[in-house]
Amino acid sequence: MQVFLLDTKLLSEVLLGDVNNDGSVDNLDITDFIIALTVNGDEAAFLAQVTNGSFLAADIDGSGNPDNLDITGFIDLLVTQTTGAVPEPASILALLAVGAMSLRRRRRVAPFRR
């Protein structure tokens, strides 16, 4: 059985980077962004962990799926927001480390070939 989620927001209404869906892009979005990266495009798995989150907001580059290519854009959004605090350097380093681990994991999980 396949589950399809219906998004009730227009793409133009989504605040990119506001992954926890609280109306601002700040340090509170970092953990939820990491979750969006680790579920490998599975929006249902994301929403099971972040019930009020916005999976679409984690897709910074508009590719249709949050992935490692969104990390730099997400960091840029965190740093340039005038409404929130600048993320701690440790938070940015942790985000980059998770992105690197996620990329390595994807490379290791290659289809089995005979």
Domain-embedded: residue 93: yes
Domain-embedded: residue 5: no
Count of structural domains, the chain: 1
CB neighbourhood size of 51 (10 A): 8
Q: Which pTM value belongs to this model? A: 0.66
What pLDDT, in 10s, does the model give residues 28-85? 999 999 999 999 889 999 999 999 999 999 999 989 899 999 999 999 999 887 545 5
Domain-embedded: residue 11: no
| SS3 category, 42 | coil
Domain-embedded: residue 79: yes
| SS3 category, 27 | helix
Range of the domain at 56: 18-108
Domain-embedded: residue 4: no
Domain-embedded: residue 76: yes
Residues 6+ apart with CB under 8 A from 20: 28, 29, 32, 50, 52, 53, 54
Domain-embedded: residue 6: no
